[in-house]
Amino acid sequence: MAGGDPVSDELACLECDKAKDECGVFGIYGPGKNVSRITYFGLHALQHRGEESSGVAVAGGKIEVHKGMGLVTEVFDDDILNRLQGDIGIGHVRYSMKSNSVINAQPQVFRYPWGMVALAYNGNLTNSTDLMEDLSRKGVIFQSISNTEIMANLLARHYEGDIEEALRKVTCEIQGAYSLVVMTQNKLIGLRDPFGIRPLCLGDLDGSFVLASESCALNTVGAEFIRNISPGEMVAIDGGGLKSTSLTNNNRQAPCVFEYVYLARPDSTIDDINVNIARFGFGKQLAQENKVDADVVVGVPYSGTTAALGYAQERGLPFMEGLIKNRYVGRTFIQPSQKLRDLRVRLKLNPVKEILEGKSIVMVDDSIVRGTTSRKIVKMVREAGARKVHFVVSCPPIAHPCYYGIKTTSRDELIASRRNVEEIRHHIGADSLYYLSLRGMLEVLDLPEEKVCAACFTGKYPIDVSGCRACDNKSFSEKGC
Amino acid sequence: MAGGDPVSDELACLECDKAKDECGVFGIYGPGKNVSRITYFGLHALQHRGEESSGVAVAGGKIEVHKGMGLVTEVFDDDILNRLQGDIGIGHVRYSMKSNSVINAQPQVFRYPWGMVALAYNGNLTNSTDLMEDLSRKGVIFQSISNTEIMANLLARHYEGDIEEALRKVTCEIQGAYSLVVMTQNKLIGLRDPFGIRPLCLGDLDGSFVLASESCALNTVGAEFIRNISPGEMVAIDGGGLKSTSLTNNNRQAPCVFEYVYLARPDSTIDDINVNIARFGFGKQLAQENKVDADVVVGVPYSGTTAALGYAQERGLPFMEGLIKNRYVGRTFIQPSQKLRDLRVRLKLNPVKEILEGKSIVMVDDSIVRGTTSRKIVKMVREAGARKVHFVVSCPPIAHPCYYGIKTTSRDELIASRRNVEEIRHHIGADSLYYLSLRGMLEVLDLPEEKVCAACFTGKYPIDVSGCRACDNKSFSEKGC
Amino acid sequence: MAGGDPVSDELACLECDKAKDECGVFGIYGPGKNVSRITYFGLHALQHRGEESSGVAVAGGKIEVHKGMGLVTEVFDDDILNRLQGDIGIGHVRYSMKSNSVINAQPQVFRYPWGMVALAYNGNLTNSTDLMEDLSRKGVIFQSISNTEIMANLLARHYEGDIEEALRKVTCEIQGAYSLVVMTQNKLIGLRDPFGIRPLCLGDLDGSFVLASESCALNTVGAEFIRNISPGEMVAIDGGGLKSTSLTNNNRQAPCVFEYVYLARPDSTIDDINVNIARFGFGKQLAQENKVDADVVVGVPYSGTTAALGYAQERGLPFMEGLIKNRYVGRTFIQPSQKLRDLRVRLKLNPVKEILEGKSIVMVDDSIVRGTTSRKIVKMVREAGARKVHFVVSCPPIAHPCYYGIKTTSRDELIASRRNVEEIRHHIGADSLYYLSLRGMLEVLDLPEEKVCAACFTGKYPIDVSGCRACDNKSFSEKGC
Amino acid sequence: MAGGDPVSDELACLECDKAKDECGVFGIYGPGKNVSRITYFGLHALQHRGEESSGVAVAGGKIEVHKGMGLVTEVFDDDILNRLQGDIGIGHVRYSMKSNSVINAQPQVFRYPWGMVALAYNGNLTNSTDLMEDLSRKGVIFQSISNTEIMANLLARHYEGDIEEALRKVTCEIQGAYSLVVMTQNKLIGLRDPFGIRPLCLGDLDGSFVLASESCALNTVGAEFIRNISPGEMVAIDGGGLKSTSLTNNNRQAPCVFEYVYLARPDSTIDDINVNIARFGFGKQLAQENKVDADVVVGVPYSGTTAALGYAQERGLPFMEGLIKNRYVGRTFIQPSQKLRDLRVRLKLNPVKEILEGKSIVMVDDSIVRGTTSRKIVKMVREAGARKVHFVVSCPPIAHPCYYGIKTTSRDELIASRRNVEEIRHHIGADSLYYLSLRGMLEVLDLPEEKVCAACFTGKYPIDVSGCRACDNKSFSEKGC
């Protein structure tokens, strides 16, 4: 699709005015099972964590990999899956800004003197620039800008015959968020950073261990959820079973709260909290904090729906589907011409006049990033006859970029980094605007602030990000898993 | 996709265990406008009425057409749309059983001694066999089995210089359901059968007339809704404006109620009734008719959600999203192997254990065709821990095939044609099963039975279908628009 | 490929500055054989007769067809061929001006009251306009402008229970060139027009009869050549064997001589004359007629090579490959920008300086249509250092368009229709220019002028073309098989 | 395409029973020129040197690359080329055994502390195993098995601020054949190994320097040939012009003679010898060495044609095109079933019975690798009626594998490594078999044995290959450029 021109940017914005997970990972140690196919189905369940590239690697003697740009259903077919025979499999889906960058697709496979290793990464290293510079000085060359290549090179430097020991040493040098699955020719390893920023969980599929970013992938392949990988835990799975090691005695844990707000699939349960129930709770909490008079509660589909349901229930107001999303909206799409530009919003969302006309509306969305889409929605809803539009958001204002593996946008484009709530209300044209309080959010989750990462709301980064800030003038997302 | 084998059939079933519209039509008379692009966007809004083929024809001097297998976003690109220059455009999306049948894709273009005509058809002729036989005897040969070719040949026989007069005469010979858009080299004509079975409406886009199967397509292209085309009405649009003719003095009108139940997009308003509001009303009515004790109301996404919301509101029960649909489920999909067959349902729907566990559930779905999917869902919900599963359906039992352009399935496969409600309940494994009453449904719509077609529930066909019954042993859907 | 702009036109010209066959046909009556696959391989051998669309129809009970735009290797895959099961198969390849016109691809299948018929056609009807008008008056409508639809409609009118009798009657009404394969649900029929203008031959594949435009297709599928279908002969093949009927007592036969000059594959033998040997003979004859002094003989690859070899042998001059063709030149190709336009010729042909430098060259090409390419070649050869360039052409000047199924170009674009030989020589920039005499050509073929069609050279059309001349202002090729 | 099964192997064999170049390279230093497009057209001219993957990298500030599996016409389109803006461009085409190995496609881009470098490589390192082991011990990890990654890592170790100096040092460590183009962010470098085994030449395109594996690519883009890069020469081109450095005072030069026999395009001139003229000379020399009685000389198209012409001229025998190649034979092709297996040869080559019948034939081919194809051809020619088949080959027996970048096959599969000429004659079924003598070949080239590499004939490898021999039990071609 053409980039750059204002028309397509504005359209694209409807799609991308959301923060995005950068990756999903999956792994299975399953001798005798069809590991490539199970990995494929696992990735299919994690597709929302990355639509741009998909990859599967299997180990059976040596390691084979297939990856490409696109959804798993586009990158794989029966022939390819049949060729990928092995006992262990890992997979990766990825969101990426760069078109055609199949070179950066994962899993990435590396050849060491002692064997092959495949890595699939979710997260972001905050000291990657330092690490790259240091490694470069020592003669390492990079074929891409990726955390994976950094990890792989550190691994080479620390390996002395024991992959787990080497990984342990690597974790002493790296800083940032990482939920990793690593596959050697005979072992599957899962690893979660000491703060536990990105999720990772463990399941059991008929006696075989399975690792996945979210529990929905366990359910999809028919595995039982066993437990979450703990922050700072490494599990190594081979013919001898599973061995768990704690890499850290870190007390400050910081799982990302934004997974609950928007990123994760609603049927996933992350660190013992179900995502759908959390979202419903955010909506209820919102309703306790914000009691505007209204006739009807409407959610922005699909991500605002659950909080809207909670809000409506708590307030005793009717929830109605006042905005309908065209479910055929996809990635490849012909741009309307300038003359037709007014139809751009309506290609994706259409208001139901009969529901909105003459009504005072509470419009619930999960978050506001740039504010562009929110403004369009408010305008559309007013044109459909709404008398009042009260906009409520089921998280606090996002005023700080994420450096831990979420693609938001540059700081300057985060509307809440430059404007206060009243200014944002004015900008999006709502009659009122209310954000969920952080306190309220944490109450719903029943977690103290010290047990989560809420840096995108508070700016209090649990892991030092000064190295990342240096590149903050650019969109941060150039780097990434 | 491979056909035939039991594995894929069962999977396919999850997709297809719904009745389906066979077509959507769109037309614009818009000199000076980009008619091909507007038609493209209109079809995009009607894509749910047919995912198998898409086509656009334009008249500008002569008539040009482009069509192909697939979604509009797959069949068209900028180059193709730019080549289709003209003053008038019509478009068509189609559901079809037959793979690769681009030959039957519409619009179809016919060359007469007096000029070219393009036809896009939604509906089904009930006397097509007689008409084909009669025409064949008169020397007509058919390149496909299509209502369109029959219409085109009848048109040839009745044309004496006036296309509208010829169409009027054709309507005297044909029986059945038809919402047609017809394009000559300088005229756009819309036509709805005397019973008004399939919908068709008229809009105004900055002074240009637009025709569409559903009003959501008018909204999407930025047109104002003007009115519905009346049953038995023909509108002819050219440089001189719009001329309306009534083709019938039929008093029995019979718009299809199933459009409200499942087929139409919720943001469409058909014959002055908004679809979303109708579905919400069906849910409320259901709740009045069926008052089981329950903890929570869950809809089968996406089509059962609205009625579930209405049900929950009416009963004062909480509505929760207890089933999550994977939004990446598409048409091309690798089949799980036999060993993995249990995961087939979960690839598309995943229960939220935290919501369902230990609960008594009211599960709302819009309709039951074969019962296969319902049974899988009930099983899945029970496995997720539901204590009770009360299944309620927001329409009466579908016991009779549609002969008016809806692909259901053969009569034998309609579970309600062979089993009573208790038997169906037993089959799907629910604790109770309740269908909305026809009386209740009509009350919600505020229409007498004489003003709708509810034949799929009642077997009272407003138009004679004895000719169709003859081929009833086969799946009826071989013929079609 | 983009049309219209001068850049691409000029490039296209290198490709298309040749007359082209419009179709190739193939058929097999082979119960128990894999007829779809055999037809596929047969079409592959006939691909030079049509690169734009490919199609295969099989009869096994009913008739199934698959066709699409592109080469047979692009249109078919294993799955598609496996689905096409039957006892009889026919196939077609087609050259077409129109992009995306899959609607006109063949075989075309027609449904009659008495069964289905598939037709594959090579040639052109000269009274098609009259026939279309007449049929239209009788109520026939056309979905395309094709000889096949005309034939199919005439067949409907004459059928009284006997397909062969009906075809016989059809041949009384049609005029022009036609080599047809016709397939009913249980019979394969081959038919060649009374003048025998386009070729058709019969083979035996392990007891099954095979029909093909050229004998190279028989060889390729492993069939033995039996004989040519005679002008005016119809062969009908079914379970009872082969029955031959003569449809005419026409004495004037007129097989197209241009098949020998350029159209047919060199390994084919048409009407008992091998094409390669004919071309070699044309070259020898040229050498007898034209004895310029020269150092070396060079053919324009690939079509001028054989005549060049004959010329060189006859004159005792060395034949050298002074022009090399890039064998990766295909149909999809990025256009050089204006700045790079000089490289357009060289992308396809590259002179070998070491062979040409300082030499007096006899450059042999098979024919000149517009002269555009010839001029470029002469220029390129001179730039490579040739001292003299004597251009000799292994057929007489093409001064008259073909109306019998060959796409030449409009009369105005045929350089020999507007200029004499000296003017053409001047235009292409050669030191001398010599065309083979018609007398010489006929001597090589050992045929009297009354036994061939040489109308493109002489303007003496064996079948009346006044009806075609009417549309002569347009490119004739709009119509066609 | 299906691998492994005997049917497809045998078919594949017709295609692959030839030695194959593994790569072609191209480069241009052209500020102000459309370097991506020029590189594209240059690669198109070199496509015969590698059909499996294609890539273009450009430097304009930073380095961008696009590459993929397939021909250049498949991998690139206008949009992609337009995105690749820069002042310098390099490109690569590659032959590879491995399907889907886009990871190994070139150019490969590496990031160093001091900038980015892109490499395109033709040849093969003979000490790669040692180098990889050594580098691995020093902590280097490899993402593939490629000479390019080895080179890139050595470069990192030797770089101290001067890329040319670093490359010079790298050449002291590596052994083997390499013709390299290297691009930094502001410089284009060409490099040919001290023995000059693979070709590389320099041209001038309107003031810009161009590098290419063969001169045909210079001609195609409109560049003037300047000179060959000398064995052991490095040319560095930047804004200051071209600087040449000699890396060696090696006296033993060893350009590959097999480029003249088969690999290079006939219109290329390599190291001052035109390929077409060399092949013609081989044919003449063959005729002097081998004077069998025969009626006609036939070449195996296309690669045997030129030598056949030379043979025929020298002997005064007629050259005839007795075998015709189907020019649509491509890479994707449906396999004949077992029942149709006899047609496998004829899909590609068809004999002209009229030319061969009753004749004593001299059949000229350029080389014999496994002998499989030759046997099929002899059989086919005999079945077409040839009385005698004398097989002559325009190079000596290939008895030794190439370790310098040519994919032959494993030693065991080289028929001449296991059998003597009489045994080969018997195997292929010819009446006689004659190979060109090495002495004769060198006479035609006017080069002493000490000035060429003829190791595939003689086993005298100019560069030590003991390291390669170790992996000789496998097909050598797993490694490669």
Task: Indicate whether C274 pLDDT > 90.
Answer: yes
Ranges assigned E (strand) in A100-174:
108-112, 115-125
User: Largest alpha-carbon pair distance within chain C?
Assistant: 72
- The pLDDT value given to residue C473: 41
CB–CB of C153 and B137 under 8 A? no
Q: What is the secondary structure of A74-98 as a DSSP string?
A: HH--HHHHHH---SEEEEEEE--SS
CB–CB of C139 and B138 under 8 A? yes
The answer to whether residues C14 and C345 touch, using CB atoms and an 8 Å cutoff, is yes
Look at residues C72, C68, C74 and name the one whose alpha carbon lies nearest to residue C37.
C72
User: Largest alpha-carbon pair distance within chain D?
Assistant: 72
- The pLDDT value given to residue C115: 92
Look at residues C84, C85, C156, C82 and name the one whose alpha carbon lies nearest to residue C119.
C156
Which of B290-294, D46-50, D440-444 ranks highest by mean pLDDT?
A: D440-444
Look at residues A225, A229, A306 and name the one whose alpha carbon lies nearest to residue A264.
A306
C113 CB neighbours in chain B (<8 A) are 133, 136-137
Give me the percent of chain D exceeding a pLDDT of 90: 73
Considering only alpha carbons, which residue of chain C is nearest residue D330?
Answer: C73
Name which of C395-409, C431-445, D15-29, D333-347 the model is least confident about. Answer: D333-347
- State the pLDDT confidence band at C96, using cuts at 50, 70 and 90: low
Helices D163-173 and D147-158, packing angle to 10 deg: 120
**Candidates B8, B80, B108, B111, partner chain C, best to mutate (most C CBs within 10 A):** B111
CA pair distance A120, A104, nearest whole angstrom? 11
Higher pLDDT, D480 or C72: C72
- State the pLDDT confidence band at B335, using cuts at 50, 70 and 90: low
User: Largest alpha-carbon pair distance within chain B?
Assistant: 72
**Spacing of C-alpha B39 from chain mean position:** 19
A264-279 mean pLDDT: 97
The answer to whether residues D73 and D61 touch, using CB atoms and an 8 Å cutoff, is no
CA pair distance B204, A376, nearest whole angstrom? 23
Mean pLDDT of all residues belonging to chain A: 88
Helices (H), D47-188: 72-75, 78-83, 128-137, 147-158, 163-173
The answer to whether residues A100 and A119 touch, using CB atoms and an 8 Å cutoff, is no
Give the helix/strand (H/E) hosting C5: none
- The pLDDT value given to residue A448: 96
**Candidates B95, B321, B325, partner chain A, best to mutate (most A CBs within 10 A):** B321
A350 CB neighbours in chain B (<8 A) are 45, 216, 219-220, 267
Q: Identify whether C23 is a catalytic site residue.
A: yes
- The pLDDT value given to residue C478: 36
Task: Indicate whether B21 pLDDT > 80.
Answer: no
Reduced to 3 states, what is the DSSP secondary structure of residue D164? helix
Task: Indicate whether A144 pLDDT > 90.
Answer: no
Q: Beta strand C296-299 with C360-365: parallel, antiparallel or unpaired?
A: parallel
Give me the percent of chain A exceeding a pLDDT of 90: 73
Task: Indicate whether D422 pLDDT > 70.
Answer: yes
C142 CB neighbours in chain B (<8 A) are 110-111
Task: Indicate whether D462 pLDDT > 70.
Answer: yes
Look at residues B176, B200, B198, B205 and name the one whose alpha carbon lies nearest to residue B189.
B200
- pLDDT tens-digit series, residues A325-349: 998 876 545 666 656 655 677 888 9
Lookup: tokens for D318: 């007629």
Task: Indicate whether C135 pLDDT > 60.
Answer: yes
If you search the block for the tokens 């809704």, which residue do you land on?
B225
Higher pLDDT, C73 or B337: C73
- State the pLDDT confidence band at D17, using cuts at 50, 70 and 90: low
Q: Which of C216, C318, C350 has its CB closest to that of D216?
A: C350
β-bridge partners, A396: none
CA pair distance C39, C90, nearest whole angstrom? 6
Task: Indicate whether C297 pLDDT > 90.
Answer: yes
Task: Indicate whether D322 pLDDT > 50.
Answer: yes
How many residues in total does chain D contain?
481
pTM comes to 0.87
C138 CB neighbours in chain B (<8 A) are 139
Burial, A349: exposed, middle or buried (Cβ in 10 Å; 0-12, 13-18, 19+)?
buried
Reduced to 3 states, what is the DSSP secondary structure of residue C481? coil
CB–CB of C222 and D47 under 8 A? no
CA pair distance C29, C189, nearest whole angstrom? 9
Name which of A268-272, B386-390, C65-69, D173-177 the model is least confident about. Answer: C65-69
- State the pLDDT confidence band at C470, using cuts at 50, 70 and 90: low
Distances in Å between the Cα of D241 and the Cα atoms of A78, C136, D149, D235, D414 are: 53, 74, 28, 10, 46
CA pair distance B419, B410, nearest whole angstrom? 15
CB–CB of C78 and D37 under 8 A? no
Which of A34-38, B404-408, C469-473, D332-336 ranks highest by mean pLDDT?
A: A34-38
Q: Give the up-direction half-sphere exposure of residue B339: CA atoms within 13 A in the CB hemisphere.
A: 8
D450-475 mean pLDDT: 81
- State the pLDDT confidence band at B474, using cuts at 50, 70 and 90: very low
- pLDDT tens-digit series, residues C138-171: 889 998 878 899 999 999 999 888 999 999 999 9
Here the contacts of D466-473 (C-beta below 8 Å, separation 24 or greater) are D467/D126, D467/D127, D467/D128, D467/D129, D467/D130, D468/D126, D468/D403, D470/D129, D471/D129, D472/D401, D472/D410, D472/D411, D473/D410
If you search the block for the tokens 């694209």, which residue do you land on?
A12
Quickly count: other Cβ atoms within 10 Å of residue D277's Cβ: 20
Taken in order of first residue, the domains within chain B and their CATH numbers are: 17-254 (3.60.20.10), 274-461 (3.40.50.2020)
Q: What's the angle, vertex CA A298, arms to CA A296 and CA A301, rounded to 5?
A: 165
The answer to whether residues D200 and D211 touch, using CB atoms and an 8 Å cutoff, is yes
Give me the percent of chain A exceeding a pLDDT of 70: 88
Q: Which of B33, B313, B330 has its CB closest to that of A73?
A: B330
If you search the block for the tokens 């450059």, which residue do you land on?
C363
Look at residues C352, C319, C324 and name the one whose alpha carbon lies nearest to residue D48.
C324
D309 CB neighbours in chain C (<8 A) are 319-321
CB–CB of B141 and C112 under 8 A? yes
A108 CB neighbours in chain D (<8 A) are 143
Considering only alpha carbons, which residue of chain B is nearest residue C133?
Answer: B113
Lookup: tokens for C199: 């070729």
Distances in Å between the Cα of B27 and the Cα atoms of A8, B90, B181 are: 26, 4, 7
Quickly count: other Cβ atoms within 10 Å of residue B173's Cβ: 16
If you search the block for the tokens 């090691």, which residue do you land on?
A245
- The pLDDT value given to residue B337: 61
D315-325 mean pLDDT: 95
Helices then strands (H, E): number in chain C? 18, 23
CB–CB of B47 and A352 under 8 A? no
Which DSSP symbol is given to C474? Answer: S
CA pair distance C193, B198, nearest whole angstrom? 50
Considering only alpha carbons, which residue of chain B is nearest residue C131?
Answer: B113
Mean pLDDT of all residues belonging to chain C: 88
Burial, B338: exposed, middle or buried (Cβ in 10 Å; 0-12, 13-18, 19+)?
exposed
D418-439 mean pLDDT: 97
Measure the N-to-C terminal CA separation of chain D; round to a whole number of Å.
24
CA pair distance A267, D394, nearest whole angstrom? 70
Give the helix/strand (H/E) hosting D34: none
A302 CB neighbours in chain B (<8 A) are 327
Identity of the residue numbered D128: S
How many contacts (CB atoms, under 8 Å) link A and D?
A: 61
**Candidates D119, D129, D133, D143, partner chain A, best to mutate (most A CBs within 10 A):** D143
B158-177 mean pLDDT: 94
How many contacts (CB atoms, under 8 Å) link C and D?
A: 164
- pLDDT tens-digit series, residues A66-113: 998 889 998 998 889 999 999 999 999 987 644 445 667 899 999 998
- pLDDT tens-digit series, residues D47-72: 999 988 899 999 998 899 999 888 99
Task: Indicate whether B17 pLDDT > 70.
Answer: no
Ranges assigned E (strand) in C95-240:
108-112, 115-125, 176-184, 188-192, 201-205, 208-212, 224-228, 233-238
- The pLDDT value given to residue A470: 58
- The pLDDT value given to residue C19: 61
Mean pLDDT of all residues belonging to chain D: 88
- State the pLDDT confidence band at C15, using cuts at 50, 70 and 90: very low
C293-307 mean pLDDT: 95
D409-416 mean pLDDT: 83
**Candidates D1, D101, D111, D129, partner chain A, best to mutate (most A CBs within 10 A):** D111
Q: Which residues of A227-243 are buried (b: 16+ CB within 10 A; e: fewer)?
A: ebbbbbbbbbbbeeeee
- pLDDT tens-digit series, residues B25-45: 999 999 999 999 999 999 999
Task: Indicate whether D477 pLDDT > 60.
Answer: no
Considering only alpha carbons, which residue of chain A is nearest residue D75?
Answer: A100
CA pair distance D4, D402, nearest whole angstrom? 24
CA pair distance D24, D212, nearest whole angstrom? 8
CB–CB of D321 and C306 under 8 A? yes
Touch between chain A and chain C (3+ CB pairs, < 8 Å)? Answer: no
Helices (H), D25-121: 35-45, 72-75, 78-83
- pLDDT tens-digit series, residues A373-409: 899 999 999 999 999 999 999 999 999 999 998 876 6
- pLDDT tens-digit series, residues D105-122: 899 999 998 899 999 999
Q: What's the angle, vertex CA B270, arms to CA B267 and CA B275, rounded to 5?
A: 40
B285-290 mean pLDDT: 97
**Spacing of C-alpha A384 from chain mean position:** 33
D neighbours by CB contacts (3+ pairs under 8 Å): A, C
CA pair distance A57, A106, nearest whole angstrom? 9
Reduced to 3 states, what is the DSSP secondary structure of residue D72? helix
A272-278 mean pLDDT: 97
Task: Indicate whether D143 pLDDT > 80.
Answer: yes
C109-130 mean pLDDT: 92
- State the pLDDT confidence band at C330, using cuts at 50, 70 and 90: low
- The pLDDT value given to residue A447: 97
- pLDDT tens-digit series, residues A209-266: 999 999 999 999 999 999 999 999 999 999 999 999 998 777 789 999 999 999 999 9
Which ipTM score applies to this complex?
0.89
Q: What's the angle, vertex CA B343, arms to CA B338 and CA B348, rounded to 5?
A: 130
Give the helix/strand (H/E) hosting B472: none
If you search the block for the tokens 């071209």, which residue do you land on?
D242
Quickly count: other Cβ atoms within 10 Å of residue D261's Cβ: 26
CA pair distance D215, D91, nearest whole angstrom? 15
Measure the N-to-C terminal CA separation of chain C; round to a whole number of Å.
23
CA pair distance A317, A313, nearest whole angstrom? 7
